[in-house]
Amino acid sequence: MDFLRPYAAQLLSVLRIMSGLLVLQHGTIKYLSIPVGPMNNASPMTMSGAAGIIELVFGALLVIGLFTRLSAFVLSVMCAVAYFYSHAGRNFFPILNGGELAALYSFVFLYLAAAGGGPWSVDRARGAD
């Protein structure tokens, strides 16, 4: 199945952008109240609030592809900590402990930290990728 091979570089950028947008919403709900929901008005003194700052700042950087490798690595570590802190103690299996999203995010961000932002990134435009 080689029909997508010519688009691998562009799809790397799409993966970065979409992953960034998905994690960014975790920060926007906590600090910008967008969308309105139960996690609005987080305190930066809590684990969830501290994670919200990381999600907001590094998620936005990931979306535009600026400092992609650093941003993705920080987000990968944050998601791994979230998995082990909040989920792993409940059950060995991620499907049963509710941590499959945190685990998947962690590995996607780890890949992006290694692969970079792709052709559609500020890093690439400034020659830093």
CA pair distance 100, 20, nearest whole angstrom: 17
Instruction: Name the pLDDT band for 106 (thresholds 50, 70, 90).
Output: very high
Per-residue pLDDT, 128 = 84
Interval 75-84: pLDDT, tens: 999 999 999 9
The mean predicted confidence, pLDDT, of the chain is 95
- pLDDT digit string (tens) for 53-75? 999 999 999 999 999 999 999 99
Q: What is the pLDDT of residue 1?
A: 76
Predicted pLDDT at 129: 76
Local structure of residue 86 (DSSP, 8 states): I
126's CB contacts (< 8 A; 6+ apart) are none
The CA distance from 63 to 45, in Å, is 26
Stretch 116-125: mean pLDDT: 97
pLDDT at position 51: 95
Chain centroid offset of residue 113 CA? 11
Task: Give this prediction's pTM.
Answer: 0.94
Structure tokens at 44: 């930066």
